Copies of this chain bind each other. A is one copy, B any other.
Amino acid sequence: MSQVDDVLAALADPMRRRVLDLVAAKGPVSASALATELPVSRQAIVKHLSVLEKAELVASERAGRENNFSVRSGALDATATWMASLASQWDRRLAAIKKIAEA
């Protein structure tokens, strides 16, 4: 469940979502390359990437002197599933309450 926790915390920040979108669009890409297309410093992006990596939304692979990041959909998918099941859980409970109220 801390998996879901990390994903939600990671996605909460708009700049982090922009970074994530860029990584998804550009494929394997380095932090420095991302920095050229975003209005923040490289270090800021490095921090964002480390958060995203901890949430397993992104994975890094070293190639020589540069570190390339790619997107991983597993954690995102798991979180989406968790949210959907939570929503349906609420709906079921609401339906049950309504049924009791009608009886």
Contact = CB atoms under 8 A, between A and B. Distances in A.
Contact of A80 (B11, B83, B89): B83
A90 B52 CA distance: 15
Interface residues of A, number: 27
A80 B79 CA distance: 8
Contacts of A71: 90, 94
A33 interface: no
A87 B80 contact: yes
Contact of A86 (B76, B83, B94, B97): B76
Interface in A42-100: 71, 73, 76-77, 79-81, 83-84, 86-91, 93-94, 97
